[in-house]
Amino acid sequence: MTTTQAPSKSRQRLLDALNHRQPDRIPVDFGASPVTGIHVSCIAELRDHFGLDKHPVKVTEPFQMLGEVEDDLRDALGSDVKGVPGRKVMFGFENKNWKPWRLNGLEVLVPGDFNVTVADNGDILMHPQGDVTAPPSARMPKGFHFFDAIIRQNHFDPEHLDPADNLEEFGPMSDSAIDDIAADVKAANDGEYALFGNFGGCALGDIALVPAVNLKDPRGIRDVAEWYVSTRSRRDYIHKIYERQVEFALGNLERIHARIGDSIDIIFLCGTDFGTQSSSFCSVATFNELWFPYYKQMCDWIHGHTSWKIFKHTCGSAARFFDSMVDAGIDIVNPVQCSAVGMEPEQLKAKYGDRLTFWGGGVDTQQVLPFGTPEQVREQVLRRCEIFAPGGGFVFNTIHNIQAETPVANILAMVNALRSLE
């Protein structure tokens, strides 16, 4: 299945930017992926502000408690992109059979298998696959707004490691899962928005996935610190995991593309973070040994068989890896954490602006958006757009998700600053 209709303004705007052509205005994304989303509480407040139909917001990504950006809010925010996620969330249950739940007093809707228990201290405990008879895999501290993984490294034996243990959550997609993706892409493809595919199982060593919060009793290396140690001391083991993962990913992508063709515009490749606030988790040499060949394999297949653009997420000081990412075939980097060392916007645009699309970087979500004044938000948004937008290669988004308790006045200052540029 391949789209033949003329691109809409939103989709054409996005395609122009991705192909480093100057679009009619800066394309915008709010909510198309699990790293460009909005906390459910902020969505509820935004819907109230814009006078949109009043109803509980769906929590479509329960690990981070991100809410659904429906078409009416998408239009109000000026967003040009619609996400097409897989149906299963990180906890291993599907987004269906919605039911009411209260998050710090706010009524929201959660999937039917969103089943939690409450610890003695008031913390909320999530259970894998919604099975409360299984030990919890994530915790939301009392009064907090999202979950953290619970480390369950119950079978770790450093002398008898089996790569298959770290692969039990990966594998060929079922025919029904492929059918679901095809149905969801068809439903989302209304001709108005660019489509962002969040499926394929291409993530390699994404630390959010290592604890396997979807598995009831995960085996292998599941402790975050032990995984980082292993990327240096057990590289043969990691290579074996990645080799097999890529086999699965390529098979899945081939079957997905056979069903949906070029109906999507962007594919989420991997969310592994390589940068910290001031440095990185590994050297460029390690990246080139342990990740580059596998990224290149997947990117080569995608570029050789589809028109999809490839999206790579990495927080922190990541510019040192950008040359390697370009060589691997990655088209888009996110979230463009400009506050990290070596991530100055002017330098990024000058060095990589013709080779990478910056999807993010529009406003800081650690300090300015949640704690600044509306005028400070406006000033930063306008300045970042002034730097990143010329010649295309820029999709406006905040630096990672908009977090709970972000003042609506500041979110509106961001939106209004963008509107002033139209």
pLDDT at 8 exceeding the cut of 90: no
Residues with Cβ < 8 Å from 245, sequence gap 6 or more? 167, 170, 201, 202, 204, 294
Share of the chain above pLDDT 90, in %: 97
| Residues 275, 348: Cα–Cα separation, whole Å | 15
Q: Which residue has the higher pLDDT, 7 or 225?
A: 225
Q: What share of the chain is helix, strand, coil (3-state, %, to 5)?
A: 35, 15, 50
pLDDT at 1 exceeding the cut of 50: no
- The answer to whether position 147 is within a domain reads no
The pLDDT-based confidence of 7 (bands split at 50, 70, 90) is confident
Q: Is the peptide bond before 335 cis (omega within 30 degrees of 0)?
A: yes
Three-class DSSP category at 46: helix
Question: CATH number, domain at 235?
Answer: 3.20.20.210
| Model confidence pLDDT, tens digit, residues 233-257 | 999 999 999 999 999 999 999 999 9
Spatial CA neighbour of 170 closest among 130, 223, 197, 210: 210
pLDDT at 154 exceeding the cut of 50: yes
- The answer to whether position 4 is within a domain reads no
Spatial CA neighbour of 95 closest among 66, 124, 137: 66
Q: What value does the mean pLDDT take over residues 172-185?
A: 96
User: pLDDT at position 159, please?
Assistant: 93
For residues 279 and 343, the answer to whether their CB atoms sit within 8 Å is no
pLDDT at 301 exceeding the cut of 50: yes
Spatial CA neighbour of 267 closest among 294, 214, 297, 303: 303
Q: What value does the mean pLDDT take over residues 1-5?
A: 45
pLDDT at 3 exceeding the cut of 50: no
Q: How many domains does the chain have?
A: 1
Residues with Cβ < 8 Å from 6, sequence gap 6 or more? none
For residues 266 and 199, the answer to whether their CB atoms sit within 8 Å is no
- The answer to whether position 115 is within a domain reads no
- The answer to whether position 145 is within a domain reads no
Alpha carbon 114 to its chain centroid, in Å, reads 21
User: pLDDT at position 6, please?
Assistant: 62
User: pLDDT at position 191, please?
Assistant: 86
End-to-end Cα distance, the chain: 34
User: pLDDT at position 237, please?
Assistant: 98
- The answer to whether position 97 is within a domain reads no
Range of the domain at 376: 9-52+70-87+153-419
User: pLDDT at position 200, please?
Assistant: 72
Three-class DSSP category at 184: helix
- The answer to whether position 202 is within a domain reads yes
| Model confidence pLDDT, tens digit, residues 336-387 | 999 999 999 999 999 999 999 999 999 999 999 999 999 999 999 999 999 9
User: pLDDT at position 5, please?
Assistant: 54
How many helices (H) does the chain have, and how many strands (E)? 13, 15
| Model confidence pLDDT, tens digit, residues 38-47 | 999 999 999 9
Q: What ranges make up the beta strands (E) of 235-373?
A: 266-270, 309-313, 332-334, 357-359
For the chain, give the mean pLDDT. Answer: 96
User: pLDDT at position 4, please?
Assistant: 46
Q: What value does the mean pLDDT take over residues 175-186?
A: 96
- The answer to whether position 264 is within a domain reads yes
Spatial CA neighbour of 320 closest among 386, 272, 366, 276: 276
- The answer to whether position 332 is within a domain reads yes
The pLDDT-based confidence of 2 (bands split at 50, 70, 90) is very low
| Model confidence pLDDT, tens digit, residues 265-276 | 999 999 999 999
The pLDDT-based confidence of 130 (bands split at 50, 70, 90) is very high
Q: Which residue has the higher pLDDT, 190 or 182?
A: 182
Q: What value does the mean pLDDT take over residues 123-132?
A: 98
Q: What value does the mean pLDDT take over residues 209-216?
A: 98
